[in-house]
Amino acid sequence: MTAADTTAPFGARLRRAMDDRGPLCVGIDPHASLLSDWGLSDDIAGLERFTRTAVEALADRVAVLKPQSAFFERFGSRGIAVLEKAVGEARDAGALVLMDAKRGDIGSTMAAYAETYLRKGSPLFSDALTVSPYLGYGSLKPAVDLARESGSGLFVLALTSNPEGAEVQRAVREDGRSIGATMLAHLAEENAGDSPMGSFGAVVGATLGDLSSFDLDINGPLLAPGIGAQGATAADLPAVFGPAVRHVVPNVSRGVLRHGPDAAALRTAAARFAAEIAEAVTPR
């Protein structure tokens, strides 16, 4: 089963990749300061060099690569062309590609976003996409439907690591349930009965501490930003995620990327994080 083989649902392909390569997602975030740290210019040439180096160093060994679309979009059409090439090359090398675009809208506009990232044959077709449900979970239906059709997945913002997120995600509805808990419940419904896990995941920050008041066992993946530069460690994961830790996909970006542009150093850093995470989440 390879990344390019979407005959299997995303959840099954992700579980296989996590078991084979370790449960690590590495972000590809070519922001200006990181390009500078690599000795690269903040232009298309620098973007191309950075992206090619990261993909060539990591795509054949990590479970997931997560390009942040905004850092490519800022260069216009030429930046998108770099992103398109990176997506294809990463998937060809065996990595699953999670497009971090956090799209969210209604009706035909949401459908167009879904077509961009989740329709087979699209230049930006990805294994999964991050989406925002804060126009109402039902607004995501075009993306949910197309993900099911194409064998792709979604990661829905639920309990994010940024402090500002709490004012929305921890707000309580009339029924006494928080917005974040509501999103988790919707995802559990989407994944009901799927094995080895469903394709509809949540974004839940690894820096949030005790989340035992939330039911994180959605039978789907939990993308966990915050390991490394944001202060969380692999050892924190069991306490944060409890029994759901088996489905956690920790995301590390700067913690790995700061070791570039040396490809060997990037691989070593990724291997270290993958080993630490696997040790932390393996049942004893």
Q: Which residues, including other chains, have CB under 8 Å from residue 171's CB and lie 6 or more apart?
A: 178, 179
Q: Are 6 and 152 in contact (CB under 8 A)?
A: yes
Contacts of 278 (CB under 8 A, 6+ apart): 22, 23
Peptide bond into 196 cis (omega under 30): yes
Active site annotation includes 102: yes
Contacts of 142 (CB under 8 A, 6+ apart): 107, 110, 111, 113, 114
Please pick, among 66, 85, 102, 120, the residue that the annotation labels catalytic. 102
Q: Which residues contact 121 (CB under 8 A, 6 or more apart)?
A: none
- SS3 call for 201: strand
* Residues tagged active-site: 102
